[in-house]
Structure 1
């Protein structure tokens, strides 16, 4: 039976989790996707929680776009609809968890339990022996009824070390093998998380090396038909999206400096009737003719010199705003619009100057968590994640609200100058397509 033939009985599924960040979840999830995709299986991957970097590796490995699943940001119905669609299209559905299995509200465990996704625990066992079994026992039993697929030990020192780990486990813990330490398939990191997959010339070679290593494990050798049964959620009814942006052309910056875009957000804009025109500031592209402009997040601090030199694009964007056409800038997009950007080395760059103030890249996390932006009784949900701060005398026209209220920290300011609106906030457009349309529509909020 081939991998494709298993689709008649429904896909296999797994949620790759860990006891903490840094255990190797992305490496294992991407290796698993790559292993089966290159064997001809149809693989769909997801990332639990908001993330722009891990999905790039999962997309390269699986050959398909990767959406985020978050029970609060997306909502349960949106998560169910995306999983149901993937189940109809795929032989294998992989969901990469976030942080530790039980971290966050909601957590990866909440997602696994709600949708019956069997949990594969990945544990960095490089500096442990018997404690490995204690961690596995805790992850498996802390939440009664949690679906369980097994455990994979990562960064193991030797065959003897692997045997010690396996011998420490309870017989029913589900030992699925081990991966050695391996520079050939390590995924490099920098601030904000992993390095972007598209920026590394050897990214696919790293994924192939990880897939080759996984192929030697019990997990890699298990045929999809032998995986634990997964019952996909029923596809919920979805209300049609009103074409509120019909006939409007939206220019979207997209390159290494403006790379943080959810594929699902682009789908929402298409459903709203918008025509999208992509351009690359780093490649020297001019601003396309457009009715609205979107500067997404990314890494402008790594390309500040090149962006600062785009004075003709700066002038085109200034003319766009002067003409009253909407501009939505989020996170890194807002940094590019500042008067000055101070990069990680302390160098100051004169940026595009449409927002008064200075964006400063810090040395530690400045904000992280789910947020909502309210418009009357309605709200856009999303998240905030940045190391930088914005020093400005410009008063905010609104503040986002942390998902868990004041105890979770301060809201993110939303700034406005004419038709320009900017914030650290990354909205998930599907949480309210009507409000997402307002980001790219003229007029007061």
Structure 2
């Protein structure tokens, strides 16, 4: 078993919305500007934060989750990253101890030092209590200090620092500023490509971080964050040789269909598939392909444009009538129904591949890690959506919760449709590398 060492840090917080992504991006951008190679990972399922983390680091961002991706997969990705990085940054999920498994579980499993960021905008002495609790709540965690976020003034920062029991844990403060605020909407952060000043925002927060203790770390200082990463005895997941060899998969990728894990694309290519990309918003037809993947995204924000693209609707219909495979996840599935109704009550005609309609809700409809039994085995993944669907279709299967979790109501339905049952659609987002053989079967015309 080989071992490689690299400085690494996990960015955590007491809760969501504290500034983990902002700090992770700032730290990555700062070190990239200093000439270091930085690899960033996101703890847990998330499509949106990686857009910002990729922009900040200049490298693909993969997920780490002890259940969804698996411990061996995490170990392999971290070990691989040491070969090409001078610094590894892992952004946590929710609060440090939230979830099963939590960011703290990941940190403890791999010996990652934890750097906490706390939104201190409405506190003073309590900042020290939160920092103390995060550091000492669980034995065995490496703690690399705490940074205060959204601080009102230098005087406020001084009060926060004085509240720490151990002044050595103080890593500095980021003052409140609109210059580097990352905007949000109903599913999370607005994607970096949608903002013309995204990189300027990251440079602004990197400049602010440069004035803190974290900003003065050199190569020798980073060695305090060194972590030995062991490679697993064998590959995290087997890739059936040639399972998709010779298959061309058309992947929807634009502002409406943008929830794509880089690791899922890698998985399909490792299975032998050739990937071609197209835009349902802008293109008039599918590229020549054997199978179609419609990932999640924001079809509700672009429903009028999608509905007006009659040529694309016809092209997708021809693909389905030819009996070619379709895998549609969440937003991709939403576009396949007859009708989509937005949260303001406006209705739009969609692609009419699946009978029924979807309606956006003001509140979250489902969230959590789940797994789905399909031909070839069980795929792990998650669900996260604000819409509900009404359809006469019967569920061919339903997701089950991750071990130790409970579902509110039934699991997500897997719908199967089309003249040869080649259309498979669900709100479920799959992590393909959790079972590459099962992932491959989603894109095959006939299930062996």
TM over 0.5: yes
2:329 touches 2:429 (CA, 8 Å); kept in 1? yes
SS of the residue aligned with 1:383?
strand
Unaligned stretches of 5+ residues in structure 1:
1-8
- Summarize the Cα distance change of 1:331–1:376 in structure 2 as closer, same or farther, 3 Å threshold: closer
SS of the residue aligned with 1:46?
strand
Give 2:23's aligned residue: 28
Give 1:182's aligned residue: 177
Give 2:417's aligned residue: 417
Give 2:99's aligned residue: 104
- Summarize the Cα distance change of 1:190–1:184 in structure 2 as closer, same or farther, 3 Å threshold: same
Give 1:72's aligned residue: 67
For 2:340 and 2:403, the matched residues in 1 are separated by 31
1:442 pairs with 2:438: no
Give 2:228's aligned residue: 232
1:154 pairs with 2:149: yes
1:198 CA drift (Å):
0.7
For 2:135 and 2:242, the matched residues in 1 are separated by 46
Aligned residues: 437
SS of the residue aligned with 1:394?
coil
For 2:30 and 2:412, the matched residues in 1 are separated by 41
Give 1:81's aligned residue: 76
Equivalent of 1:210 in 200, 205, 209: 205
1:345 CA drift (Å):
1.8
2:284 touches 2:309 (CA, 8 Å); kept in 1? no
CA displacement, residues 350-397 of structure 1 (integer Å, 9 cap, x when unaligned): 111111111111111111111111247831100101111111121110
Matches within 5 A, 1:298-317: 298-317=297-316
TM-score (norm 1): 0.96
1:279 touches 1:285 (CA, 8 Å); kept in 2? no
Q: What is the alpha-carbon root mean square deviation over aligned residues?
A: 1.4
1:11 CA drift (Å):
2.5
Name which of structure 1's ranges 406-415 and 432-441 shifts more when overlaid on structure 2.
406-415
Matches within 5 A, 1:39-438: 39-171=34-166, 174-227=169-222, 228-236=224-232, 237-238=234-235, 239-375=238-374, 378-404=377-403, 407-409=406-408, 410-418=410-418, 419-438=422-441
1:283 CA drift (Å):
1.8
For 2:203 and 2:215, the matched residues in 1 are separated by 13
1:24 touches 1:154 (CA, 8 Å); kept in 2? yes
2:239 touches 2:437 (CA, 8 Å); kept in 1? no
CA displacement, residues 118-175 of structure 1 (integer Å, 9 cap, x when unaligned): 1000000010011111111111111101011110000111111111111110126610
For 1:114 and 1:176, the matched residues in 2 are separated by 24
2:5 touches 2:229 (CA, 8 Å); kept in 1? no
1:405 CA drift (Å):
6.1
Unaligned stretches of 5+ residues in structure 2:
none
SS of the residue aligned with 2:406?
helix
1:329 touches 1:421 (CA, 8 Å); kept in 2? yes
2:9 touches 2:225 (CA, 8 Å); kept in 1? no
For 1:406 and 1:28, the matched residues in 2 are separated by 30
1:51 CA drift (Å):
0.3
SS of the residue aligned with 1:120?
strand
1:442 CA drift (Å):
1.7
